[in-house]
């Protein structure tokens, strides 16, 4: 999987697949994109019912369950012959909710499912209705072929991933683990398997780790009063100073084995000085300085930086309910992400060291939600099969394990003892940056790359599931 690229990604092959089924997958994706499942509020029921109809059309019996009528989850099982079933289940998981989109910033309406001849546009095309359609197309093909498989395959479409997973995978894991096989061996989820273009080479990652989350509220107190008075201890002004301190300070480097493997994966095909310098990126002092010169793209540099340190981004401010009242307190919500080995408490310690010189002790942190980082072994038969399949689909690419700076439903599935991988195969041209499409304007998926992904995912599951 090493060496320079001789051809474009679009020239690479993947196993054949019935053209009519690929066309149906495109149509299904467009239908899903036309259903507005922005979270909040979610309202995923219509999309769930569409997925349920498709499952029934291929002979599966989906169960639709959840904590709220408008926010259901779907689980459909393709069962192995009991006489051939020797392994624990494999779960294919997607979420049907999406983040909101501002149509004024889009070339095509975000809930149109517009097809421009090359790409399918819409909020969720990448994150992650595209994988819902891809997984269903794969399942459709395998069910039609009906080969002998060694384990059950469980297709899951959940709600509420974008707002913290409480009504979705968290509810399923806590309330209906039986639908997930109680103790599934593997979960295939987002984010991985897509093309990353770097210095004329193509890379594909398989996600084996994700950062933890710590959603915090920082509250600062001040002197309340009428806003016509020039009071010195205005809580909003004090809070602004704290926010500025957080925004202008880089948190410490926290290198991990997972981050090291990710960085080594990018430099290994290049060899020479690039490979020799990669360990320096993990150094607490030299790493941040080298990164500024080693990675030219701001987006890619932020991605690497994001897996090597805790991050804390202020996202929402609350002050006075009236314009003419100085509030007695003001607060900001902070989206914190935790590097492997870190906790919400350790992040608060880092932020406290930044804020205390500005505010003294006049502040308080509240943990709104937190969950630890999760990591999974790359030393498994499924991981090796993913690598082999990507090697076959693009012989001039390079496959590596990765860690993502965000969180996914995998953090909940891990509680069931499952090994979870991000494997969403998608071939992208150089002018489309996967990272910028996540939650970004003009989210779209190239149809050719989407079809390549369907063929690749289907081929991988055939290799892994089918017994002789």
Q: Where are the beta strands (DSSP E) in 297-447?
A: 311-318, 325-326, 329-338, 364-371, 374-375, 397-404, 419-422, 444-446
pLDDT at 11 over 50: no
What would the pLDDT profile of 451-461 be if each residue is shown by its tens digit? 999 999 999 99
Same fold, 9-208+374-465 and 212-371: no
pLDDT tens-digit series, residues 384-401: 999 999 999 999 999 999
User: Residue 172: pLDDT band by 50, 70, 90 thresholds?
Assistant: very high
Q: What is the pLDDT of residue 84?
A: 83
- The yes-or-no verdict on residue 2 having pLDDT over 50 is no
Whether domain 212-371 has CATH 3.30.70.360: the reply is: yes
In angstroms, the CA 447 to CA 181 distance is: 33
Q: What is the pLDDT of residues 83-124, one digit of tens each?
A: 888 899 999 999 999 999 999 999 999 999 999 999 999 999
pLDDT for position 16: 76
Q: Is 111 within 8 Å of 33 (Cβ atoms)?
A: yes
Residue 300 has pLDDT above 60, yes or no: yes
pLDDT tens-place string over residues 185-230: 999 999 899 998 887 889 999 999 999 999 999 999 999 999 998 8
pLDDT reading at 160 higher than 90:
yes
CA distance 15 to 449: 13
Q: Are 406 and 10 in contact (CB under 8 A)?
A: no
For residue 418, the tally of other CB atoms under 10 A from its CB is 25
167-171, 255-259, 325-329, 375-379: least confident range: 255-259
- From residue 433, alpha-carbon distances to 166, 207, 398, 407 in Å are 30, 17, 17, 20
Rounded mean pLDDT, 301-323 = 91
Write down the pLDDT at residue 435. Answer: 79
* CATH 3.40.630.10, domain 9-208+374-465, yes or no: yes
Instruction: Using DSSP, state whether 467 is helix, strand or coil.
Output: coil
Mean pLDDT of the chain: 91
Domain definitions of the chain by residue range: 9-208+374-465, 212-371
Tens-digit pLDDT profile for residues 260-272: 888 887 766 665 5
Residue 231 has pLDDT above 90, yes or no: no
pLDDT more than 70, % of the chain = 94
Which pair of tokens denotes residue 302?
């932020």
Confidence category of residue 133, pLDDT binned at 50, 70, 90: very high
């Amino acid at each position: 999987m090493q060496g320079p690229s001789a051809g474009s990604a679009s020239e690479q092959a993947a196993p054949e697949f019935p053209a009519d089924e690929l066309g149906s997958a495109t149509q299904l994706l467009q239908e899903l994109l036309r259903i507005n499942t922005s979270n909040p509020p979610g309202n995923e029921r219509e999309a769930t019912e569409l997925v349920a109809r498709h499952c029934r059309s291929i002979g599966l019996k989906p169960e639709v369950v959840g904590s709220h009528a408008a926010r259901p989850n779907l689980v459909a099982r393709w069962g192995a012959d009991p006489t051939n079933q020797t392994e624990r289940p494999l779960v294919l998981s997607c979420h049907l909710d999406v983040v909101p989109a501002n149509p004024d910033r889009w070339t095509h309406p975000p809930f149109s499912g517009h097809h421009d001849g090359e790409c399918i546009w819409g909020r969720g095309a990448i994150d992650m209705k595209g994988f819902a359609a891809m997984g269903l197309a794969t399942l459709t093909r395998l069910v039609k072929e009906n080969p002998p498989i060694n384990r059950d395959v469980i297709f899951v479409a959940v709600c509420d991933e974008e707002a913290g997973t409480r009504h979705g995978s968290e509810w399923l894991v806590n309330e209906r683990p039986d639908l997930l096989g109680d103790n599934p061996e593997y979960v295939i989820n987002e984010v991985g398997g897509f093309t990353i273009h770097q210095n004329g080479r193509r890379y594909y990652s398989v996600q084996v780790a994700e950062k933890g989350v710590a959603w915090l509220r920082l509250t600062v107190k001040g002197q309340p009063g009428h806003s016509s008075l020039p009071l010195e201890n205005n809580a909003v002004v004090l809070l602004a100073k704290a926010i500025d301190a957080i925004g202008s300070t880089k948190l410490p480097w926290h290198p991990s084995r997972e981050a090291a493997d990710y960085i080594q994966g990018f430099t290994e095909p290049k060899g020479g000085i690039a490979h020799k310098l990669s360990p320096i990126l993990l150094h607490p002092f030299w790493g941040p300085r080298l990164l500024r010169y080693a990675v030219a793209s701001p987006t890619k540099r932020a991605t690497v930086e994001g897996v090597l340190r805790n991050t804390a981004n202020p996202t929402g401010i609350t002050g006075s309910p009236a314009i003419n009242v100085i509030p007695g307190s003001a607060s900001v919500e902070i989206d914190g992400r935790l590097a492997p080995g870190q906790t919400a408490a350790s992040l608060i310690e880092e932020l406290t060291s930044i804020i205390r010189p500005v505010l003294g002790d006049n502040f308080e942190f509240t943990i709104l939600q937190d969950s630890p980082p999760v990591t999974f072994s790359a030393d498994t038969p499924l991981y090796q099969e993913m690598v082999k399949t990507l090697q076959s689909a693009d012989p001039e690419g390079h496959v590596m394990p990765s860690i993502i700076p965000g969180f996914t439903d995998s953090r909940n599935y891990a509680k069931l003892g499952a090994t979870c991988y991000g494997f969403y195969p998608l071939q992208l041209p150089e002018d489309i940056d996967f990272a910028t499409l996540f939650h970004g304007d003009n989210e779209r998926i190239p149809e050719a790359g989407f079809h390549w992904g369907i063929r690749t995912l289907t081929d991988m599951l055939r290799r892994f599931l089918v017994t002789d």
